[in-house]
Structure formats: structure tokens, C-alpha cells
Amino acid sequence: MGMLDRYRKKGGFKQLLKLLEGCAPAKQAQLFDVIQKEDTGWASLLKKKMLTLDIIFSWKPETLAEFTHLLPAKTLAYAAKKLGPQALEKAITCFPHMKKREIEDLYSASTPTPGEMLAASGKIIEKVRDLTDNGTLKFDRFAPELTLDDEAA
């Protein structure tokens, strides 16, 4: 029995996608190797549909504003540390002045560990995935390439 057999059921693709999105880079690479050996089609599709912090922060500020206000300030500041000050500025563009200042201060004053930055990134990816699952955030409006087909969902 291959590793993918347990995911070849309704909702299994999305379950595997979430697992990959939540892994550390080294573990993610290992899993992709296994998936690639078992099914190159799934490996390719998973790579196309997978959320990363870079992808999320490439969206327009208005799109980011739909969910960044739901994140703890520390999570946003730590994740932005990984991408740089431009990412932070883009993410907080639509925030009220006091909230912007709080996050900017956290960003400036903190030196998160790589583990803390990875955890913050994971929380953001998880939040975006949750919001798309419940229909609050719709990929078809701003990133149609990330929309999951019914078979993949």
C-alpha cells in the first residue's frame, strides 16, 4: 500500500495539501519526493495549489485586508520578518493607525527565531485555508489558479 492510498478519497487531496502546507521545509521536501514517486500528477497538482507565505503576500493589499485583521499582531509581525518590511507594509495598509503602529513596533523590536517565523507563517496559511473552506475568502476572485476542483476538494 502506497502512502497516497489513504488520501485517495473524497477530501483526501485537500487533507494532504493542508498537511504539506503545515510542514517544515525539509519534511515537505521529503513528502514531495514520496508523492512524486507514487503519482507525478498529484505531485504537480499539489505544488500548483499549495499556499505559501510568498504567494499570500503577493496578493493586493485589499485582499490581504480581508483576513490580516483576524491575525494576532505578533503572528503578522513574525511572518513579515521572513519576507521583509515591504510585505509588512502591504499587509497593514488598511489597518487603523494605532493597530499599524503596534504591529510596526513589534516588527522592529522583535528578533523571532526561525521556528517562530515558521510557526507564524503556518498560522497565516492555516487561517487563509480555513477562510476559503468556509467561503469567507474566495480564490476565484483574486487567485483562480488556487481554486480546488470538486474532485480535489
Across the chain, what does the average pLDDT equal?
Answer: 92
Helix (H, G, I), strand (E, B) or coil at 52: coil
What single DSSP character describes residue 40? H
Q: What is the pTM of this model?
A: 0.90
Query: What's the full length of the chain, in residues?
Result: 153
Residue 148 pLDDT class (50, 70, 90 cuts): confident
User: Over pLDDT 90: what percentage of the chain?
Assistant: 88
- Residue 78 burial (C-beta neighbours within 10 Å; 0-12, 13-18, 19+): buried
Residue 2 pLDDT class (50, 70, 90 cuts): confident
Res 150: pLDDT:
60
